[in-house]
Structure 1
Amino acid sequence: MKKVFATVALLGLCFQFLSAQGVYIGPRIGATFANAKVDGENEPNFDNRTSVLFGGALELGLGDNFAIQPEVSYISRGFDGGDDGIFGAAPTLKLNYLDLGGLVKLKTGSSEQLSAYVGIGPSYSYLLNGEIGDVEINFDDGDTFKRGDWTANFAAGVQLPLGESYLFVDIRYLLGLTDVNENDDIEVRNRSYAISAGLMLPL
């Protein structure tokens, strides 16, 4: 029983600390401009693929200048067209992911006025479905795409206070670290730019 009371007390202290520092939650929506780095016998160039991203974020304040921002998002990657039919007659690739990640943010300026921040952090993306041209990817086929993709995220943005809430807009570079292609002869790593905005509400 003492352990239960101690655990409850510790959780209460943690909640009070986070509340004092600032805890926010809210939706995030934006657009991605996706491409891929391909290494193989030849290295084709592809056009960016533009699509929508959406999800939610939770910001945990750590003092006046630092914060941790866990996120969950639906995000699409891949590429449009290119100079080589490396993936068949229709080289357009569409990969739709559920993305779990977060940023460590360094913020400048006051929380009562327009301020800026930079951030860096990892994410793990789980491939939900995809298409090559107009054909859905069959994940039962061993020579296809891997479900998991680790990504390094680099962000820069601004925050505009609205009373106790705030709006944010940021741009990001998403550097895929995983060879997502199961074919050993061709390495494919996701590369994307993203711009997003959201409204963060205090808890």
Structure 2
Amino acid sequence: MSDAFDQLIPDAQDFCRRLADNNTRDWYQDHKDEYTTRLKRPAELLLDTLRPRLAALTGGPARTKLFRINRDLRFAKGQPPYKDYLHMLWYAPDDGLAPLGWFLGIEKTRVRVGAGYMSLEGAALTRWREVMGGDAGAEIAAGIEAELASGAEMREPALKRVPSPYGQDHPRGAFLRRKGMAVFRDIPAPETDLPGAVMAEFEGLWPIFGPLHAALNRL
């Protein structure tokens, strides 16, 4: 089965580089069949292949998402009409206050994996702050900081100040200023067994995000 994915990364990167140089509707329409055959269908197969494995790892339901190549120009005025990257997402467990996301991005010059909560809102955001502001937050923060020390990255916090009722000098203030919690890292493009390589990365992140998901839903 893994042989079916051996060309996905080189094919996707080749297509994305050419699309970046010719980001017009005419060019895309001329190459739409190529996108469907070489990128979209293998990506959908990869999503389906890893979905049950992530469900087994996390012990919860799982669903998948392949991000559309078309850019919604209503919210991206002045941007090219097509995305020159291939991004996909698994949600597992897909339950509780917020689904836990597992990310794979194939871009022109890199392959990127990640995990976490892309956005926390309402009750999920309140619970996130309760967890990170309390005793359980110290161990979770230590796990995330270890990932960062090994080369992972996070987006900047959404807030400039620590939200009340937490003090500005709270030891986990940088986490409390977040409205999402995800880490990302670049990985070497595997030449064989893409599903196995991606799953190995996800398994390495589960000891961090498993306890966090449990804490968020321990009401």
TM-score (norm 2): 0.30
Q: If you compute each CA radius of gyration, which structure gives the higher value, 1 or 2?
A: 1
In terms of fraction of residues, the more helix-rich structure is: 2
Question: 1 or 2, which has the higher strand percentage?
Answer: 1
